[in-house]
C-alpha cells in the first residue's frame, strides 16, 4: 500500500546525475569581438508586471553566443534585471507634509545572480547602487506635482556582470566594472518603468559606460577607450566611467568614475556620454512600443504626443 503521509521512493532504480565540469578561469576569458564604439545588443520592454504601476525588463546580449557553448555552465555572464515602480501613492496621515515626491530606490541581487551566491539581505554594494540610482532619477522626476506622495523603485538583478578577478587577468586590471554595467542598466530600465507608470518627467535618462584600456603595444603613446566594457572581454582596464545622461537637455545627473584616468578624464566622460546616447535609442523605442500597446496609439501620430522622447 502507498503511504500518503510521506514521499515514496520510485519503484525502479535511480541514477546519480552527472554534472559538467566548470571551465577554468583562463578558458572563461575571451577577447572583444566587437569594435570599440559598438555596444552589446539591448532588449528592453515595459509593462510586464501588471500589479505594479510601471515595470520594465532589460537584458544584454552575452559576449559569447550560446551556440558556441560546449558545457551546460555559462562561460560568460550577461546582465538581466527587472524594475518595478510602485506609486505615486499618498503618505500616511501621520507623516509630515512633503511638498515634493519622496523617491526611494532599492537594488537587490537575486541569490543566483552571480557565481558566488549572495545573501537575502542587502549588502553594502547593493545599498551603494541604490544611492547612485536615486541620484540619477531625482534629476528627471518633476516632484512638485506630487505633494505628500511617495514612489518606490525596486530593481531585481537576475544575472549580474562578474567582478571577481581570475588567474588570467593582469595585476593592473581594474575591478568593479561589472557593478558599473549593472548601474547603467538600472538607470535605463528605471527610466522606462517610470514613464510606464505615468510619472511626469523632464526627459528620459539613459546610462552609459566607457572604459580606458592599456595599450597592447608598450610603445604606444596613449591608451584605447572602449564603450560598454564587459569584464569577460577585457583584462587590461585602466579606468571606467558610468553616467546618467539627459540627451535633450544635455545634462548629466549621475557620474561615477573609477580607476586612474589621468589627464584623459574629460574624454572618458565624453565617451560614456556617447554610450548613453546609443542606449537612449533603444529606450525611446521601448517607451513608444509600451505606449502603443497601452493606449492603442499609432506609431506615427499618437505615440509622439503621449510620450516625450526628445
pLDDT tens column, 236-256? 788 999 999 999 999 999 999
Q: Which three cell numbers stand for residue 83?
A: 524594475
CA 156, CA 214: separation in Å to the nearest integer?
33
What are the pLDDT digits (tens) for 208-220?
999 988 765 454 4
Do 118 and 111 form a contact (C-beta atoms < 8 A)? yes
* For range 149-175, the mean pLDDT: 71
Neighbours of 214 (CB within 10 A): 18
C-alpha cell of residue 142: 518633476
Tell me, what's the pLDDT at 304?
44
Q: How many CA atoms lie within 13 A of 58 on its CB side?
A: 31
pLDDT in tens, 292-302: 988 876 544 44
Using the predicted structure, report yes or no on whether residue 45 has a pLDDT greater than 80.
Answer: yes
* DSSP letter for each residue of 231-296: TTT-S-EEEEEEEEEETTTTEEEEEEEEE--GGGHHHHHHHHHHHHHHHHHHHHHHHHHHHHHHH-
46 vs 50: CA distance, rounded Å: 10
Kind plus residue range of the DSSP H or E element containing 47: none
Q: Is the peptide bond before 88 cis (omega within 30 degrees of 0)?
A: yes
CB-based contact 56:48 (threshold 8 Å):
yes
The candidate with the shortest Cα–Cα distance to 143, out of 223, 76, 219, 87, is: 87
Q: Between vectors from CA 94 to CA 91 and to CA 95, what angle results, nearest 5°?
A: 50
The answer to whether the beta carbons of residues 76 and 137 sit under 8 Å apart is: no
Please check the confidence at residue 167 and state whether its pLDDT lies above 90: no
Mean pLDDT, residues 154-165 taken together? 79
C-alpha distance across the termini of the chain, in Å: 71
Strand, helix or coil for residue 186: helix
Among residues of the chain, what percentage have pLDDT more than 90?
Answer: 51
Cα–Cα nearest to 252, from 238, 263, 268: 268
What percent of the chain has a predicted confidence (pLDDT) above 70? 78
Cα angle 147, 151, 156 (rounded to 5 degrees) comes to 170
Confidence grade of residue 275 (pLDDT, cut at 50, 70, 90): very high
Residue-wise burial string across 125-138, b where 16 or more C-beta atoms lie within 10 A, e elsewhere: ebeebbebbbbbbe
Residue 289 CB-half CA count within 13 A: 14
Distance CA 207, CA 277 (A): 8
Write the CA distances from 58 to 48, 128, 255, integer angstroms: 11, 20, 21
Return the pLDDT at 21.
60
Amino acid at each position: 500500500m502507498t503511504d500518503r503521509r510521506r514521499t515514496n521512493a520510485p519503484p525502479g532504480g535511480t541514477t546519480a546525475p552527472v554534472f559538467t565540469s566548470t571551465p577554468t578561469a583562463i578558458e572563461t576569458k575571451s577577447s572583444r569581438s566587437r569594435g570599440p564604439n559598438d555596444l552589446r545588443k539591448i532588449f528592453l520592454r515595459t509593462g510586464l508586471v501588471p500589479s505594479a504601476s510601471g515595470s520594465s525588463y532589460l537584458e544584454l546580449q552575452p559576449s559569447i553566443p550560446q551556440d558556441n557553448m560546449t558545457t551546460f555552465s555559462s562561460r560568460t555572464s550577461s546582465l538581466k534585471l527587472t524594475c518595478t515602480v510602485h506609486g505615486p501613492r499618498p503618505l500616511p496621515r501621520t507623516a509630515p507634509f512633503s511638498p515634493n515626491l519622496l523617491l526611494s530606490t532599492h537594488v537587490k541581487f537575486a541569490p543566483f545572480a552571480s557565481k558566488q551566491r549572495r545573501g537575502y539581505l542587502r549588502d553594502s554594494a547593493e545599498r551603494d547602487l541604490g544611492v547612485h540610482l536615486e541620484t540619477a532619477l531625482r534629476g528627471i522626476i518633476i516632484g512638485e506635482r506630487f505633494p505628500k506622495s511617495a514612489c518606490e523603485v525596486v530593481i531585481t538583478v537576475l544575472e549580474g556582470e562578474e567582478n571577481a578577478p581570475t588567474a588570467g587577468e593582469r595585476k593592473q586590471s581594474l575591478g568593479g566594472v561589472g557593478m558599473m554595467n549593472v548601474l547603467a542598466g538600472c538607470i535605463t530600465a528605471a527610466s522606462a518603468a517610470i514613464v510606464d507608470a505615468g510619472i511626469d518627467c523632464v526627459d528620459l535618462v539613459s546610462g552609459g559606460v566607457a572604459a580606458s584600456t592599456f595599450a597592447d603595444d608598450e610603445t604606444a603613446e596613449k591608451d584605447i577607450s572602449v564603450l560598454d566594457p564587459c569584464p569577460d572581454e577585457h583584462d587590461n582596464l585602466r579606468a571606467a566611467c558610468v553616467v546618467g545622461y539627459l540627451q535633450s537637455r544635455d545634462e548629466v545627473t549621475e557620474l561615477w568614475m573609477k580607476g586612474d584616468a589621468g589627464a584623459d578624464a574629460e574624454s572618458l566622460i565624453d565617451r560614456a556620454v556617447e554610450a548613453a546616447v546609443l542606449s537612449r535609442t533603444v529606450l525611446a523605442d521601448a517607451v513608444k512600443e509600451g505606449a502603443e500597446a497601452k493606449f492603442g496609439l499609432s506609431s506615427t501620430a499618437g505615440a509622439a504626443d503621449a510620450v516625450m522622447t526628445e
